Amino acid sequence: MDTILQFFNEQLLLIYLLIFTIILGFEVISKVPTVLHTPLMSGANAVSGVVIIGAIILVRKAA
């Protein structure tokens, strides 16, 4: 239990930043009209796919 409390005390700023970005992301996404939601999600999925492919390539080269 002490190690968990120590981690939270050391990373308090990052925890606040994570909570803030979750709230901000939710607010931004909730304001997107339904007509734009599908194109935006397909673009986000494409970016995620590129990131995953890049990570796989890096892991293969590092091993």
Q: With bands split at pLDDT 50, 70 and 90, how would you rate the model's confidence at 44?
A: confident
| Cβ–Cβ < 8 Å for 15, 8 | yes
| Structural element, H or E, at residue 46 | helix 34-62
Q: Which domain holds residue 59?
A: 36-63
> Per-residue confidence at 28, pLDDT binned at 50, 70, 90?
confident
Domains in the chain: how many in total?
2
Both 22 and 42 in one domain: the answer is: no
d(CA 16, CA 13): 5
Give the C-alpha separation, 31 to 38, whole Å. Answer: 14
Q: Are 54 and 46 in contact (CB under 8 A)?
A: no
CA-CA distance, 10 to 23, in Å (whole number)?
22
pLDDT band at residue 35 under the 50/70/90 scheme:
confident
**Mean pLDDT taken over the chain:** 88
